[in-house]
Amino acid sequence: MPENIVLTEATYYILLSLYDPQHGYGIMQEVESLSRGRVHLAAGTLYGALNSMVEKGWITQLPVEDGSRKKDYQITALGLKILKEEIERLRELVTNGDAIVKGNNND
């Protein structure tokens, strides 16, 4: 039985923003724009998260172009699988939440 992984908001949004290759600052901007300014990802937190996700094989670092200091990252097949499972889990949370807390959205 595989462990039931619950991603943090930062991890979730980083994986999502790496659907296409992206560098560090690009990820921060992408996450901010996806969440309409709600999620602010700080650089140190992002750096740590990127390194541990590379170690786990959820994302991969693309070859660095000559003369560029920017490292691009992209989600791997494993990362995508984890992201999809997380989307399912979030769907369950929202469905259950809506079903029980009925009508409270309309007040």
Partner 1 sequence: MTERMTKYRWFWVWDFEKEERWLNEMAANGWTLAEVGYCRYTFERTESNEYTVRLEMHPYDEDYINFMEQTGAEYIGRVLQWIYFRKESRLGRFDIFSDLDSRISHLSKIHKMILTLGFANLLIGVANLLIGDANSFTAVMNLLVATLLMYGVGRLQGKIEYLENERELRE
Q: Which amino acid is at 79?
A: G
Q: Does 57 bind partner 1 (CB under 8 A)?
A: no
Residue in 14, 16, 18, 41 binding partner 1, rule: CB under 8 A: 41
Q: Does 70 bind partner 1 (CB under 8 A)?
A: yes
Q: Does 53 bind partner 1 (CB under 8 A)?
A: no
State which H helix or E strand residue 60 sits in.
Answer: strand 59-61
Contact 22, 30 (CB under 8 A): yes
3-class DSSP state of 23: strand
Residue in 35, 45, 60, 74 binding partner 1, rule: CB under 8 A: 45
Q: Does 56 bind partner 1 (CB under 8 A)?
A: no
Sign of CA dihedral 66, 68, 71, 73: negative
Residue number with CB closer to partner 1 (70 or 77):
70
